[in-house]
Amino acid sequence: GVTIDTGGADLKTGGAMFGMSRDKYGSAVVAGFFKALEALRPKGIKAVGYMCMVRNSIGADSYTCDEIIKARSGKRIHIYCTDAEGRITMLDPLTKMREMVLNEKNPHLFTLATLTGHAFLSKGYYASVIDNGPAHEVRFAETIQKYGDEYGQPTEISRLHPEDYAFHEAESECADLRQGNTKPSVQTIRGHQGPAAFLIRASRLDEHGTDSTLPIKFSHIDIGSAMGDYPHVTYPNPLVALLSTGYIKHEINKMKQCERDESSIIRNFDRNTASLQHTNRNRPNSQKLLARKRDSIKHHTRMLMIEHTLVESKGFDVGSSKLRGLLAAFNDD
DSSP state letter for 227: T
Which residues carry out catalysis?
12, 87
d(CA 85, CA 79): 9
In this structure, are residues 301 and 327 in contact, taking their beta carbons and an 8 Å threshold? yes
d(CA 252, CA 231): 36
CA 172 to centroid of chain Cα atoms: 36
d(CA 301, CA 203): 53
Q: Is the dihedral of CA 296, 302, 305, 311 positive or negative?
A: negative
Q: Which residues pair with 130 in a beta bridge?
A: 158, 220
C-alpha distances (whole Å) from 308 to each of 43, 304, 305, 325, 330 are 18, 6, 5, 14, 18
Over the Cα atoms of the chain, what is R_g?
27
Task: Please provide the DSSP assignment of 123-141 as one string.
Answer: HSSSEEEEE-HHHHHTTHH
Q: Which residues pair with 111 in a beta bridge?
A: 220
The stretches of 101-190 forming alpha helices (DSSP H) are: 117-123, 133-137, 140-150, 162-166
Task: Please provide the DSSP assignment of 234-270 as one string.
Answer: P--TTHHHHHIIIIIHHHHHHHHHHHHHHHHHHHHHH
Amino acid in position 53: M
d(CA 269, CA 327): 11
